[in-house]
Amino acid sequence: AKEAGRGSYSLYLPTMEGHAPAVLQQEHLLRRAVREQQFVLHYQPQVRVDTGRLHGFEALVRWQHPEQGLVGPDHFIPLAESRGLITAIGRWVLREACRQLRAWHDEGLPQVQVSVNLSAIEFRQRDVVADIEHTLRECGLAPRFLEIEITETALMQHADQTRETLAALRALGVSVTVDDFGTGYSSLAYLKRYPLDKIKVDRSFVIDTPQDADDVAIVTAVVQLARSLQLQSVAEGVENPEQLALLRGLGCDLAQGYGIARPMPAAQALEWMRQQAR
Ligand code: C2E
Ligand code: CA
Ligand code: CA
Ligand code: CA
């Protein structure tokens, strides 16, 4: 794989399906990665659209592959999910994100939040909320600083259990964002039924704004929908000032994207925070 610089990665992997030797080899390496914790989190800032001030970071996992360098989540999360490794990786991610945030708070940095992605499989674990509570306590981090991102598709399965889990998270004080909004089921009823905090407009709708009138209409509708349901709106994939201006006009609450900052290692995120504060 070639190092693409700027903390990104590029890697070709064969399809994750089936039992091709290359996939088995990758599974073997991923098991070892879990044992040896060959992972790292990169942090991407989320800012308030109206003031430009930092709200928090989304924690995004990367695999420090022994031969291939930094491997992005799209290249191993599906394999981890199909091979029963996602829970172990998710636990590491949660603990590391909470530990890092607590360390930043201890350094007297702004009391920012961290968002952690939970895959559907993790969200379905019976003990997921107890696990989160335990990790927060262990890291000495108040629940209000943690945010969970769950895809719309994951929220649509097993309505009763979903409602229970979301209610338990709410009771704990952890907030929940619907990720990739608009790319999953078209039913909107769940927005009303579940205790949720934020809707994240998928980046596929943001990327061609403001040029693409259809996408502008979609982003506008989602931001308005969020507001009428008293949810906060987050736009991801914000790559330029024109998009930020559009979102400001629409009254979107939070924005995230390469145009603001790329996901970066903790040390760089710390530097970024210090620069913002100056
Ligand atoms: P996501 O949750 O939708 O995360 C946003 C993705 O968009 C990230 O890709 C981020 O680097 C990328 N991105 C951010 N700003 C821009 C932009 O302005 N333009 C473009 N084109 N892309 C942007 P990344 O880090 O490769 O993550 C991909 C996906 O992997 C995530 O999508 C999420 O679904 C999953 N993922 C990442 N970390 C974790 C994790 O710890 N656990 C689980 N279960 N899934 C994770
Ligand atoms: Ca996310
Ligand atoms: Ca997303
Ligand atoms: Ca995604």
Please say if the pLDDT value at position 205 is more than 70: yes
- pLDDT at residue 125, as a whole number: 93
Which one is predicted more confidently, 207 or 159?
207
Give 108 Cα–ligand 4 centroid separation in angstroms: 32
Between residues 110 and 3, the one the model is more confident about: 110
Q: Is the pLDDT of residue 276 over 90?
A: no
Residue 108: per-residue pLDDT:
87
Beta bridge partners of 177: 149, 198
- pLDDT of residue 259 exceeding 70, the answer is yes
Q: At 2, is the pLDDT very low, low, confident or very high (cuts 50, 70, 90)?
A: very low
| Cα of 202 from ligand 3 centre, angstroms | 5
Q: Average pLDDT of 193-209?
A: 95
Closest to 236 in 3D by CA, of 197, 213, 205: 205
Question: pLDDT tier at 220 (50, 70, 90 boundaries)?
Answer: very high
Q: Is the CB of 119 under 6 A from ligand 1?
A: yes
Percentage of the chain surpassing pLDDT 70? 92
Q: Is 179 a pocket residue for ligand 1 (Cβ < 6 Å)?
A: yes
Distance CA 232, CA 253 (A): 6
pLDDT of residue 185: 67
**What distance in angstroms lies between residue 256's CA and the mean position of ligand 4's atoms?**
13
- Average pLDDT of every residue of the chain: 92
Dihedral, CA of residue 220, residue 54, residue 264 and residue 199, to nearest 10: -30
Prediction ipTM score: 0.97
Residue 234 tokens read as 């987050």
Q: pTM of the entire structure? A: 0.93
Q: For residues 215 and 204, what is the distance between their CA atoms, to the nearest angstrom? A: 9
74: part of which helix (H) or strand (E)? none
Nearest CA to ligand 1 atom 5: 236
pLDDT of residue 255 exceeding 60, the answer is yes
pLDDT at 67 (0 to 100): 87
- pLDDT in the model for residue 110: 77
pLDDT > 80? residue 186: no
- Asked if pLDDT for residue 10 goes beyond 60, the answer is no
CA of 74, nearest ligand number: 1
Q: What is the pLDDT of residues 23-66, one digit of tens each?
A: 888 999 999 999 999 999 999 999 999 999 999 999 999 999 98
Q: pLDDT at position 9, please?
A: 52
pLDDT of residue 17: 56
Of the ranges 157-161, 168-172, 205-209, 225-229, which one carries the lowest mean pLDDT score?
157-161
* Residues 76, 62 contacting (CB under 8 angstroms): no
Contact 76, 63 (CB under 8 A): yes
